[in-house]
Structure formats: C-alpha cells, structure tokens
Chain A
Amino acid sequence: MLKRVQHDTFVTNKHFNSSTFQLINHLKKTFGRLFAFTPIKNFMTLEFKSVLPFPLREYPHVNESVWKRDFLLEFPSKILLNASSGKGKSTFVNIVYGVRSDYDGSVFINQRDISKLTLHEWIDLRRTSLSVIFQDLQLFGELTLWENLILKNQLTNHKALTEIEDMLTLLGIGDRKSQICKTLSLGQQQRVAIIRSLLQPFDLLLMDEPFSHLDEENAKIALALITAETEKNKAGFILTSLGSRHGATYDKELKL
C-alpha cells in the first residue's frame, strides 16, 4: 500500500514538472519576443531554404545559383560570391544583413529564421557579430573621414585610435583624416567603408563589391588587411565580386 502511494506521488510530480516546463517554454516563446531577447552569439551557420527575391522571380536561374536552392554555409570560412551584374549580389548581402525582406523562402542564422528577428536583435547582431561593406558604402557625407570612423568605434570601442591611424596609413589615406567625406574620391570612400567595417567584433563580414573602385594593387592590400582582421576575429567573410578573385584563395565559391 505504502509503495503504491509513493509511486503515485512520483507520477504526479513528474507530470507536474513536465507541464510546468511546457508552460515556461510557452511563456518564453510568447513574451520572449516582447521583452527579453537572446542575442545571437557566435554566428556559426547561415542557411538558405529556396530563397527567391521578388524582383528576380521572372529570371531563369542556373542550377548552381544560390536562388531557389537549399544550402548551408558554416563559419568561420571565406566565401566568394561571383556573378555578373544584375544577378542579385547586393540583394543577397542585403537579405543576410536584414535590410531587405522582399523574398520567398526562408533564411536562418544559427537555426533562427531571420524574418522573426526584432529590430533590437538585428541592431545587437550588427554591433557584435555581423559587419558589412555596402556597395553604396553608406558613409556620412557631412562628416570628416575621421569622424565617420570614430562614430563607429566609439560605439564598439573595438580599436585603439593608433590602430585606426595605422589602417588608414596602410590603405594610403592617412593624410585625408580631416577631409569631409563627400569630397573624397569614390576609391577613397571605399577604403573608409572597409576600415569602418573592421571597427567592430564580427563573426561574419559581408562585402558587396568592396574593391570596385580600387586598382588591383590597392585591392590586394585591402584584402590582406581584411583577411588578417577576419582571422584575428576567428571569423569568416562573404565577398561578392564581378568576376575577379583578387588574387586570393577561398574556402568556397557561390554563384548566382
């Protein structure tokens, strides 16, 4: 008799525990989005599931294209995305960076559907784990070159000022520090954008034709700097290009 009672108690307890667990999980799901959010740390995987941007619906896609396919990228690794103009390189970068959502299919970062991320989560991700060089650079034209960089670095405190100066000198724009950004040449602006993207910790660096206005020599120097920083961060990058490999080797190549 005694044994029976004990057994019952045990069952009840177990039942209680599991339902409580379910309840807590449910609450987490419901309220997690509203209040707390767990930042995605250590960008490990990027997964595409038959993604197709709306503007590219009408175009035929080759078999090895990233569009309408399922694939998984694991980091750290260096990836080259090679395609001719108009195939959606920038769209790819913008989708992964979370500034475009006009596509069919789903994208997952660390198994999380990125369309479900809140703005706060995106901002957190962009500050700590995901960096970018936009094709249109997105610098602040009214600020000086130096202010553009400091604006980013004072947010992350990632580099010492002397380190930033060294990077400027390395890329050959050390003498332009106090020039208003919009008066710089496109090639110079591109180098500012490259340095800005390195002034934060990251697991993945997205680069959208970052050397389009640089000569081959400067592009090599820039890529060497980027590679060094990427390795220092134990991170990976995705580099889009119009066909040039910039004299480097990559872990993987994608096509559009």
Chain B
Amino acid sequence: MLKKILFKNSSNFQFAFATAGALIGLIALLLSFQLILDVRSFHSSEEELFGPNSVVIQKKVTKMTTIGMNNTEFTPEDIEALREKEFITDVAPFQSADFKVGISEVEGDGLPHFYADMFFQAIPDRFMDIDVDWSWNEESEFIPIVLPRDFIMIINYGFAQSQGINQISEELLMAARLTIHINGNGKDQKMIGRVVGFSQKISSILVPESFLEYANPIYGNGNIINPSRVFITTTDDSYGELEDLMEEMNLDISKSAIDVAKIKTIITVVIGIFGVASLLIMLLSLMGFVQYSQLVLSKASYEIKTLLRIGYSIKSIVHTFILQLAIIFGLITVGSIVIMLLVKILMVNVWLKDNGIHIEGSSIFLTITVALICFVAFIVANYLNVKKTIFNLGKN
C-alpha cells in the first residue's frame, strides 16, 4: 500500500528514459570490460607453447661481428641489466650443446633417407608450456625435440625438390623417430629423438634442459661460452618499452613475436577508451535515475508528508522506496548481463571467428562482479538522496 501511494504519480515516460539510459550505459560498460578481459586472455598458438608475452632476443650481427671486432654474446652484466628492467618478469639465457649433433632417419619409420648436421639448445622448462612430456632422463625412450617451423618449410619446398626426395608432413615428422648422432670429447653415441612440436618464435632446435645437463659434461669439449640468445617474459602492454630496449642494446627481435604484443596493446588501449566512455555513460544514467527518483519523490511530497504525520517513520518510507528501485535496477542489471552475453556470443565471437581470431572465453565472473558493484553504487547513491529528500519533506 505504501508502494502504491509513493509511486502513484510516477511518470512512465520518465521511467522508460531512465531505465533505457541505465540499461545502455551498463551494457556498454560490461561489454567493454568483458572485451578487455578477453583480449588480455588472448593467446596465439605460439604463446600456448611458450607461455604468454615471451620473446627471444639476440644481438644483431653486423660487419664488425663478422670480422671479430664485437660479438653477439650476452655477458653476465648484460643479463643482470635485463633482470633489472621493470617490464621484464623473467630472463633465461639459452643453454647450448657443447658437442656436434647430427640427425638421420630411423629405418622403417617412413622418412626418406637423410642426414643433417645440427645443434641443440635448451631453455628452462618453465618456458615450455607444452602438452607432451618434456622431461628427460637417462631411462627416457627418446629425446623430445622442438623444431623451428621454418625448418620443415625449407626441407619441403626447397631441399626436397632440389634433391629429389619426398616431402614430409608435420604429422609424419612428429610420428617418426629420429636417430641422433652425438660426437664430442672423443666419443660417439647414437640416441633416439622425436619431434614433439614446432615453433614460429624460436629459430633454434630445442631439447630439454635436463638432456643438455646430462650430455654436456660427457661429450662436451669444455668450452665455456656466454649465451648469445636470451628468452625473456614481459608484462602485458609493454610493447613500447620493448622497442626502446631493442634500440638501446642493439637487439634483434623476431618481428612476428612482438606483433602479438603490439596488437594486444593497441586493442587494449582502444577498448580502454571505449570503457572510459561507457563509464561516463554509466554515471550519466545513474544521475538520470537519481533524477527520476527525485521526481517521483517530489510528486509524492504530499503523501510522504502525510505519512510522516500519521506516524510512519522515515526509515519505512525510505525502505519501501529503495526496495522498489532495487527491484527495477536489479532487473536492469540482470538484463544488461544477459544482453552483454548475447552480444558477445552472437556478434563479437562470430565476427572474431570469421576473421580467424581464436579467443578463449575468459571468465564472466569478473564482469558480473562489476555489474554488482554498479548495482550497489546505484542503491547507495539513491538511498542517500532519497533519505535526505524525505527528511527535508518531514521537516517542512
């Protein structure tokens, strides 16, 4: 009955506008927030292999390098300088095999006969975010190997044709075993290896660190060399800092590796701007709703005064009023979450799929939390306003 008295004069037109404003504002806010989360959770297939935001850096080879005036090694001081950069969260120098390596086919596994000289390098296991078992010990059946994707390209489209041998698919190469020829420190050894993945980012042949730790003392020639490549992990949106670092240390970074970082940074900034705009819309619609409740209150001022005169407490009137607004805004909040999800699933995701971008859906939990925060902010703002207005009505 209290509700009937308080809202009897409320204008449907005003109410529709306030509701539409709040709905649009909240949808825009939630959508941009959800998109920012999605972009942040974006992984290229490369990143799935090595974890997000990781790049290999090396020093540029110049004329001076070739004639021996400088070298491309990272000294311990260089490594330390990298560690001190705030946007770099992890630094790992490549470990190199200190012995000669060659590979050939294992007869009967379907590969054509070949032999190639090679090298092995290793990075710490924590960078290898790979599905198969990457660990190695002396009892292991084979040595897992990650090849650069370009390697198979060179074999299939260059080498195979000129030598008249069959082309091999990635699947076949991964299914077949390889014979590893190790030679160093006056010893020869044959072992079995298997390709477990391909990498776009790292133009190196990677084996588990544990294998090099085992093999280097046995077959190594005892040369201690500084690493010439370093694996680093950067924080999100550090594209600008990375470019500065390249200039500063005369570094060479695979262009494709930083493209992802660059795109992510740009998209985050663009959506961020959209997010700020949405926040402003949201605040505006919040004000619209406060305005609406103000209007309802002033239209019901006689009723409120009379209620206070026949003994109704301010609290009970405020509660009735706020409960009603809470129901309305609760529906708006739920509605905007639903619409946001529909837009994301039916429009954004379809568009991304059509454009060949695969984004793993990030959790909507955070977005719902944001919606709830908006809800609470709305209730608090209206509560304070309504309470003050009713108190003033009672005093007059």
Contact = CB atoms under 8 A, between A and B. Distances in A.
Contact of B1 (A126, A128, A147): A147
A119 B391 contact: yes
A71 interface: no
B306 A123 contact: no
Contacts of A127: 311
Contacts of B256: none
A18 B8 CA distance: 57
Contact of A126 (B2, B4, B311, B314): B311
Nearest to A119: B394
Given A138-B306, A140-B5, A142-B8, A155 B391 contact: no
A151 interface: yes
Contact of A99 (B1, B309, B312, B313): B309
A100 to B, nearest CB: 10
Q: Tell me the dominant secondary structure on chain A's binding face.
A: helix
Contact of B311 (A123, A140, A147): A123
In the complex, the 7 A-B pairs of residues with the closest C-beta atoms, listed nearest first: A127-B311, A126-B311, A119-B394, A138-B306, A142-B8, A151-B1, A152-B310
Contacts of B303: 140
Contacts of B5: 140, 142-143, 151
A89 interface: no
B395 interface: yes
B34 to A, nearest CB: 44
A123 B308 contact: yes
A155 B320 CA distance: 14
B311 A119 contact: no
Given A132-B309, A138-B309, A140-B303, A120 B314 contact: yes
Contacts of A151: 1-2, 5, 310
A143 B1 contact: yes
B305 to A, nearest CB: 8
Interface string B306-326: 101111111000000000000
A150 interface: yes
Interface residues of A, number: 24
A132 to B, nearest CB: 7
A190 interface: no
Contact of B310 (A126, A142, A150): A126
Contacts of B394: 119, 122-123
A150 B5 CA distance: 13
A191 interface: no
B388 to A, nearest CB: 12
Interface in A104-154: 119-120, 122-123, 126-128, 132, 134, 138, 140, 142-143, 147, 150-152, 154
A127 B313 CA distance: 9
A200 B314 contact: no
A155 B311 contact: yes
A133 B308 CA distance: 14
Contacts of A155: 310-312
A44 B1 CA distance: 34
24 contacts: A119-B308, A119-B391, A119-B394, A119-B395, A120-B313, A123-B311, A123-B313, A123-B314, A126-B310, A128-B311, A132-B309, A138-B306, A138-B309, A142-B5, A142-B8, A143-B1, A143-B5, A147-B1, A150-B1, A151-B1, A151-B310, A154-B1, A155-B311, A200-B311
Given A126-B309, A140-B303, A119 B314 contact: yes
A8 to B, nearest CB: 53
Contacts of A138: 306, 309-310
A120 B394 CA distance: 10
Give the most central of A122, A143, A151, A156: most B CB within 10 Å: A151
Contacts of A78: none
Given A123-B312, A138-B309, A143-B1, 19 more contacts: A97-B309, A119-B394, A119-B395, A122-B394, A123-B308, A123-B311, A123-B314, A123-B394, A126-B309, A147-B1, A150-B1, A151-B1, A151-B5, A151-B310, A152-B310, A155-B310, A155-B312, A196-B310, A200-B311
A99 B309 CA distance: 8
B237 to A, nearest CB: 50
B393 to A, nearest CB: 10
A152 B316 CA distance: 13
Nearest to A126: B311
A147 B306 CA distance: 15
Contacts of B312: 123, 155
Interface string A173-208: 000000000000000000000001000100000000
Contacts of A119: 308, 314, 391, 394-395
Contacts of B4: 142-143
Nearest to B310: A152
A134 B314 CA distance: 21
A140 to B, nearest CB: 6
A36 to B, nearest CB: 15
B136 to A, nearest CB: 73
A127 B391 CA distance: 17
Contacts of B310: 126, 138, 151-152, 155, 196
